[in-house]
Chains A and B, each alone.
Chain A
Amino acid sequence: MAFAVVSDLHKRYRPGAPEAVAGVSFEVSEGEIFGLLGPNGAGKTTTIGAMTTRVRPTSGQVTIDGFDVVRDAVAVKQRIAMVPQRPNLDRALTAIEVLTFHAAYFGFGRQQRRARAMELLSLLGLEGREDEEINTYSGGMAQRLMIARALMHDPRMLFLDEPTTGLDPQSRLFLWDRVADLRARGVTLLLTTHDMAEADLLCDRIAIVDHGEVIALDTPRGLRNLLPGDRGLEIGVTGDADPATVFQRFGEVEVADATDDGRNVRIYATNPLAELVAAADAAGLRVEGVRRIEGTLEDVFVHLTGRDLR
């Protein structure tokens, strides 16, 4: 059953500005781990903002557990927790106070919240530092504390906006374990990340967003199948000829912008490598390097959203 439903969500921050979210629709089932992937500025945080009552939709509708985020904001907030992309810890408090007051806002009793806070702090490797001011925390520690805070009130749905950015490998692995735990307990998760391996590993389904629109939505395996042909080759070439015309006859070709090392060409074809190299030679292009496109999520992502910087 769908726990979160986003239908035809639009968001324009200011009149005249381009739409940050331009008609996004998807559903997240109860207990599902749903990923949002997309280049910088694609509209991921804005979409999460609308789902967590922090961003007012320009049009469209979002419901969480059947409650509308605009009309029934309080009911929605009782069910969700959020780890934001940018730190927003209450810096007037110490680490443990951040957790206990957070739980108090959600109606936990005094005994319960202290015990739970200590448990989560030790789980997240912050024990012994619970009485420190937030200002003394490093970026990664603050991130871990925000994760602990989100878990404090036992939410039905957890939003994680780039939760592993800035975490060391241990913390990252730890977070992945926690995500698995939460899934086992039936918590619904929505996360964004720029780490494709992470998305591939964790998510049941992934929506790829670009320019405020969902351009693909499928399981990780389904997304990998979007690559033209089974696989392809990425070839680095130098030379004057236009690689697009040179390799055209083999299959679909994508050419990235020229860099100091020449150009990267992605050719989705099954021809033997020797044929491609011969064709390059004949056209006066020097082959500098070759990589097989394995069909990773990253390849799919680049295939769908292009190589341009945002």
Chain B
Amino acid sequence: MSAPVVQAPQLGQRRAQITAFKAMCGRDCWVILRHDLAGFLAQSLLQPLFFLFIFGRVLPEIGAAQGSYGAQLLPGIIALTLFLTSLQNTALPLVIDFSFTKEIEDRLLAPLSAWALAVQKMVMASLRGIVAGLAIIPLAALILPGGVDFADVSWLGFVVLLLVGPLAGASVGLLLGTAVEPQKISTMFAVTLTPLLFTGATFYPWQALDTLRWFQVLTLLNPLTYLSEGMRGALTTIPALGAGWVALGLVVATAIFGTLGVRGFTRRATD
């Protein structure tokens, strides 16, 4: 008895990296579809659904908010879902992989640069973000009293944000997932997620903060602000940050967090 003899594919390094990258995406899709779809949807949709229900339905119902609040809220919730789903699906698996299971080692030994593996993780998490962000729309149509009105939609803006927003979230996730020691990770999440959630112009239009100037300026530090405002501009006629500012904010945030995140990842990838 003898081990089967095959010729290993003789790929150039560039081709080898592209092949490995695609195969890893294939693996991730396979894992979600085969094992994880229900869990993934529950995990990413539950929080936004409750936000929609409580703020968009219950509060107007009991007279604590205006009936039209739901329409203002929806773009923010879509943005939040895109952003946080990508963020968490990048950060959490990395924390587990690097500190506990070491499962990532088999991918670190595949013919792919560490930075490309980091990008692969971001791309797949962004894909999850997009799925969750789209899934929230029909559900919102059921929950919100006014339903979902897409009469004034700028489709180009919406699609661009749908692609770019999750990447911004994933880049923040990459940094969070690789920045601190595993023992400190739960503290890290606790002190970053809540501020990200509530300073991201999700629950209010940014322009409405005029009277709370210091807070308005502070929220510009949160990349989610640009995504929420962009969505608001693309989906509604509510006054929102200009497209130029939105693009600038998202690109700069993705570049900064992405660079730091990839650096953190490559540092953690080798001992």
Instruction: Enumerate chain A interface residues (CB-CB to B < 8 A).
Output: 13, 49, 52-56, 73-75, 77-78, 80-82, 84, 86-93, 97, 101-102, 104-108, 112, 115-116, 119-120, 123, 149, 151, 153-155, 177-178, 181-182, 185
Contact check, A106 vs B102: say whether CB atoms are below 8 A apart.
Answer: no
Q: What string of 1s and 0s marks CB contacts (under 8 Å) between B84-111 and chain A?
A: 0000000000000000011111111111
List of A residues within 8 angstroms of B107 by Cβ: 105
List of B residues within 8 angstroms of A153 by Cβ: 8
The answer to whether B7 has its CB under 8 Å from any CB of chain A is yes
Q: What's the Cα separation between A106 and B15 when bound, in Å?
A: 10
The answer to whether B13 has its CB under 8 Å from any CB of chain A is yes
List of A residues within 8 angstroms of B106 by Cβ: 88-90, 102, 149
List of B residues within 8 angstroms of A108 by Cβ: 6, 8-9
Instruction: Enumerate chain B interface residues (CB-CB to A < 8 A).
Output: 1-9, 11, 13, 15-17, 19-20, 23-24, 26-27, 30-31, 35-36, 101-114, 270-271
If the complex has contacts A151-B3, A182-B3, are A105 and B111 also in contact, measured as CB distance less than 8 A? Answer: yes
Q: Which residue of A lies closest to B270 (CB)?
A: A56
Q: Which residue of B lies closest to A78 (CB)?
A: B111
Contact check, A74 vs B13: say whether CB atoms are below 8 A apart.
Answer: yes
If the complex has contacts A105-B24, A106-B20, A107-B20, are A116 and B109 also in contact, measured as CB distance less than 8 A? Answer: no
If the complex has contacts A75-B13, A90-B103, A116-B6, are A104 and B113 also in contact, measured as CB distance less than 8 A? Answer: no
List of B residues within 8 angstroms of A91 by Cβ: 101, 103
Chain A's nearest CB lies how many Å from the CB of B250? 31
Contact check, B271 vs A92: say whether CB atoms are below 8 A apart.
Answer: no
Q: What's the Cα separation between A123 and B112 when bound, in Å?
A: 29
Chain A's nearest CB lies how many Å from the CB of B110? 4
Q: What's the Cα separation between A105 and B16 when bound, in Å?
A: 8
In addition to A106-B8, A120-B4, 11 A-B residue pairs with Cβ atoms within 8 Å of each other are A49-B271, A53-B109, A55-B270, A73-B113, A77-B110, A86-B102, A91-B101, A104-B23, A108-B6, A154-B6, A181-B2
Which of A52, A88, A151, A182 meets B102, CB within 8 Å? Answer: A88
Chain B's nearest CB lies how many Å from the CB of A43? 13
Q: Which residue of A lies closest to B110 (CB)?
A: A105
29 A–B contacts from the bound complex (CB under 8 Å): A54-B108, A54-B271, A55-B270, A55-B271, A56-B271, A74-B17, A75-B13, A77-B109, A77-B110, A78-B111, A86-B102, A88-B103, A90-B27, A91-B103, A101-B27, A102-B106, A104-B23, A105-B19, A105-B23, A105-B111, A105-B112, A106-B9, A106-B110, A107-B11, A107-B20, A149-B106, A154-B7, A178-B3, A181-B3
Q: What's the Cα separation between A155 and B113 when bound, in Å?
A: 18
Which of A54, A78, A93 meets B16, CB within 8 Å? Answer: A78
Q: Which residue of B lies closest to A178 (CB)?
A: B3
Q: Which residue of A lies closest to B22 (CB)?
A: A104
List of B residues within 8 angstroms of A81 by Cβ: 109
Contact check, A107 vs B16: say whether CB atoms are below 8 A apart.
Answer: yes
Contact check, A120 vs B103: say whether CB atoms are below 8 A apart.
Answer: no
Contact check, A93 vs B31: say whether CB atoms are below 8 A apart.
Answer: yes
Q: Which residue of B lies closest to A87 (CB)?
A: B102
Which of B4, B7, B13, B19 meets A119, CB within 8 Å? Answer: B4
If the complex has contacts A55-B271, A88-B106, A105-B24, are A116 and B4 also in contact, measured as CB distance less than 8 A? Answer: yes
If the complex has contacts A13-B271, A86-B102, A90-B103, are A104 and B26 also in contact, measured as CB distance less than 8 A? Answer: yes
Q: What's the Cα separation between A36 and B3 when bound, in Å?
A: 25
List of A residues within 8 angstroms of B31 by Cβ: 92-93
Q: What's the Cα separation between A17 and B33 when bound, in Å?
A: 45
Contact check, B103 vs A89: say whether CB atoms are below 8 A apart.
Answer: yes
